[in-house]
Amino acid sequence: MSRVLKQLIIGGVYVVIVGVMVFWSYNSSYGPTCQDGIQNGREEGIDCGTIACGMACASPVQAIQVQSVQLVSTPAGDHDLAMQFYNPNTNYGVALGTYQLTLGSQISSHDFYMLPGQTKDLVLTSLKGVVDGVSANVVIKDIQWEKVVGDASVSLTSSNERYLVLGNQTTFEGTILNNSDFDFDSVDISIIVSDSSGKILATNTTSIQTILSRSSRYVKVSWPFALPADARVSVEVSTNVFDNTNYIKTHGTQEKFQQLF
């Protein structure tokens, strides 16, 4: 074999080796890597991206925000707590969430649910053994997310509201309307009483068991003390649309919010 031929063979092998290395490097950086569980190449997220993998990346789920926590001492000698949570996600609701409440040495856990994009008031009433001046700390611990397509809200409203102060007692009564097409097993009502400056004076909560579609139910709550006659009353009506057991059976089958999930 001539010297020139040997040089050509060696050069060809060198070119092949370099080509393989260049291809491997390019493929690792820019080639398809949509099943490796790592964001690499031209991926816009982990194993996703319209250019790299032919599919758009899902929007990252953002944390629930605790916007306010107000602990108030009531004339009854106990405490009420009002909180406001915000869900910044427009496509994800909270089917079941848990928050931890710390009041001095007292630590407790409580459940909640939320719609996508919702700002929700949550209240706890008649908290016992809370020392005046103690601070309240709320931390979101667990979230069970539910992806939603479309509008997950239902039309539950409060009307015919009456707020009365009679002697040493305060009452609130009203009518809860279910304008949706669903029959619900349980509906929650939260009531916040505040003064003209927005300072919370007291809270209350109740629930309705069974409210049919296009129907109404009467509710009444009371406080064993007098609140200002000119106080502002805020009422929030909600139900967990993500809980299939919350839909009353019709004709032997469980209703579901099927168009959403």
Q: What is the CATH number of the domain that holds 105?
A: 2.60.40.10
pLDDT digits (tens, 9 = 90+) for 28-77: 555 556 877 777 777 777 778 877 787 777 778 999 999 999 999 999 99
Q: Please state whether beta strands 169-178 and 119-127 pair in parallel, antiparallel, or not at all (unpaired).
A: unpaired
Whether residue 38 is found in the same domain as residue 100 = no
Domain boundary among 100, 121, 147: 147
Domain boundary among 126, 147, 168: 147
Whether residue 161 is found in the same domain as residue 233 = yes
H helices present in 63-150, as ranges? none
251 pLDDT exceeds 50?
A: no
Whether residue 161 is found in the same domain as residue 242 = yes
d(CA 124, CA 128): 11
Whether residue 80 is found in the same domain as residue 139 = yes
User: Tokens representing 37?
Assistant: 């569980």
Locate tokens 């496509």: which residue?
91
Whether residue 99 is found in the same domain as residue 132 = yes
Structural domain boundaries, residue 206: 156-246
pLDDT above 90 coverage of the chain, percent: 66
Q: How many domains does the chain have?
A: 3
